[in-house]
Amino acid sequence: MSENMTFDDLLKEQLQNKRIAAMYLEECLADGNIELFKKALKQVADAQLGGVTALSREAELNRQSLYRSLSEDGNPRLDTLVKVLGALGLRIAVSMRDNSDAVAS
């Protein structure tokens, strides 16, 4: 790592790795903070594709609609997230919470 490398530069470099990007997005979503997740999704798109414009092309989504969906006030639909994650080589998965949070059956 260069002495002049900023945290943002290091993060961008690390997020080029799909495995690290997947873990990063998973952790950002773990507490249910959709704002943090949307920001992280934009960071991953920037690192892997060069930004949201390129992501919109890869995901075959309207650029303005994607920017709106991922904005602070945006509320992306599930199908949008599936397309966006697919364009990044990722997917949505569902798993159980740890046993302390599980609902008794």
Q: What is the pLDDT of residues 6-39, one digit of tens each?
A: 999 999 999 999 999 999 999 999 988 999 999 9
- Reference 58, options 92, 88, 16, 38; nearest CA is 88
Domain borders along the chain are 7-91
Terminal Cα distance for the chain, rounded: 50
* Poorest-pLDDT segment among 15-24, 58-67, 69-78, 90-99: 90-99
Return the pLDDT at 48: 97
Q: What is the mean pLDDT of residues 51-73?
A: 96
Tokens matching residue 91: 């997917």
CA distances from residue 95 to 35, 62, 82 in whole angstroms, order as listed: 21, 31, 16
- The alpha-helical segments, DSSP class H, found in 1-105 are 7-14, 18-30, 34-49, 52-59, 63-69, 78-87
48 near 24, Cβ under 8 Å? no
Average pLDDT, the chain: 91
pTM, full prediction: 0.84
Residue with tokens 């997230």: 81
Nearest-angstrom CA–CA distance, 14 and 46? 12
